């Protein structure tokens, strides 16, 4: 998506720590221009005090939603209604839903049905239903971290989800399957094609989840692939052969020569 795409950033402040605000907007700037920035919650409570400075710093519009009934999340309803209103204005290209709550799964699906790109941002405990419903899901723990750094600890203002998130899938089967599906006859394929193939099957795929800021760094760390990058050309990748075909051919040629020599020797009685 081009950088000029217009984004609506809708933040479930009741479910997201204010410490992630800067990193969230910096990440989303890679995908477009956040023309709408709103944060939803009950701003009369102490739980959202940390958010108030971030609202001013990033020009995020707070949307007040009182908790009228205990156990019911009215913030979710307000965010969903606003998202549908924004959808019908027709002035936006994409939506970013910042929450770890599976209640937004149907909203994400509906927005995509309308032809909009949907990004999700939430913690690792985000239910798989929401992760699968968006075009791309980014875990908050990886934002702003460098290679080898541990993700930040949980904050008190981040509430628990309604179900645990799925663990990260093993990396090797993902890469092998992607190379197998996108490679040419010579076994090579572009690294970008591999990344796109994996992301289509797993919207949460991100090299940062595995401790590498960039996909090329992750690929080079795998001992079962060859990575090649020539000046002026895209990065290529292929599965590393355990046994080069040349050696097999040489053994067969040697066997044929031995058979011919044996056949040419005179028989002794």
Same domain, 137 and 19: yes
Same domain, 18 and 132: yes
Strands 189-190 and 236-239: antiparallel
**Could you tell me if residue 102 is inside a domain?**
yes
Same domain, 131 and 41: yes
**Could you tell me if residue 202 is inside a domain?**
yes
DSSP H stretches of helix in 114-212:
128-133, 171-182, 191-201
Same domain, 136 and 207: no
Same domain, 222 and 114: no
pLDDT, the chain, mean: 84
Strands 236-239 and 225-228: antiparallel
| Residue 182 banded pLDDT, cuts 50, 70, 90 | very high
135, 148, 172, 250 from 168: Cα distances, Å: 18, 17, 12, 43
Same domain, 28 and 114: yes
| Residue 265 banded pLDDT, cuts 50, 70, 90 | low
Same domain, 11 and 113: yes
User: What is the tens place of the pLDDT at every residue in 160-178?
Assistant: 444 455 678 899 999 999 9
**Could you tell me if residue 224 is inside a domain?**
yes
Same domain, 135 and 176: no
Same domain, 97 and 45: yes
Q: Would the pLDDT of 256 be above 80?
A: no
Helix (H, G, I), strand (E, B) or coil at 265: coil
Same domain, 129 and 194: no
Are the CB atoms for 28 and 7 separated by under 8 Å? Answer: yes
Q: Would the pLDDT of 109 be above 70?
A: yes
**Could you tell me if residue 246 is inside a domain?**
no
Examine the fold and report which residue of 123, 142, 161 is the final residue of a domain before the chain moves on. 142
In this prediction, residues 112-133 reach a mean pLDDT of: 96
Same domain, 18 and 62: yes
Same domain, 91 and 201: no
Domain range for residue 25?
A: 6-142
**Could you tell me if residue 164 is inside a domain?**
no
CATH number at residue 226: 3.30.420.610
**Could you tell me if residue 65 is inside a domain?**
yes
Separation of alpha carbons 82 and 111, rounded Å: 12
Separation of alpha carbons 141 and 49, rounded Å: 21
Q: Hunting for tokens 């599976």 — which residue is that?
A: 102
| Residue 226 banded pLDDT, cuts 50, 70, 90 | very high
Number of domains in the chain: 2
**Could you tell me if residue 151 is inside a domain?**
no
**Residue 152 confidence (pLDDT):** 45
**Could you tell me if residue 250 is inside a domain?**
no
């Amino acid at each position: 998506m081009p950088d000029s795409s217009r984004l609506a950033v809708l933040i479930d402040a009741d479910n997201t720590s204010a410490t992630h605000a800067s990193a969230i907007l910096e990440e989303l700037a890679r995908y477009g221009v956040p023309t709408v920035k709103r944060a939803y919650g009950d701003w009369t409570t102490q739980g959202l005090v940390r958010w108030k400075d971030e609202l001013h710093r990033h020009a995020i519009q707070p949307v007040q939603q009182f908790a009228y009934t205990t156990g019911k999340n009215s913030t979710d309803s307000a965010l969903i209604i606003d998202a549908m209103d924004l959808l019908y204005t027709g002035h936006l290209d994409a939506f970013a839903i910042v929450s770890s709550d599976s209640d937004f799964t149907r909203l994400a699906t509906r927005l995509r049905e309308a032809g909009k790109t949907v990004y999700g941002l939430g913690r690792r405990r985000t239910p798989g239903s929401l992760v699968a419903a968006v075009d791309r899901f980014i875990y908050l723990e990886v934002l702003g971290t460098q290679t080898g750094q541990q993700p930040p600890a949980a904050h008190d203002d981040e509430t628990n989800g309604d179900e645990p998130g799925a663990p990260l899938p093993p990396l090797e089967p993902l890469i092998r399957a992607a190379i197998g599906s996108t490679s040419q006859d010579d076994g090579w394929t572009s690294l970008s094609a591999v990344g796109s193939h994996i992301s289509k099957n797993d919207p949460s795929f991100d090299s940062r989840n595995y401790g590498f800021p960039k996909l090329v760094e992750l690929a080079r760390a795998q001992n079962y692939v060859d990575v090649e990058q020539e000046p002026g050309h895209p990065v290529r990748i292929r599965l590393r052969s355990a046994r080069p075909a040349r050696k097999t051919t040489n053994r067969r040629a040697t066997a044929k020569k031995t058979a011919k020599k044996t056949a040419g020797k005179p028989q002794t009685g």
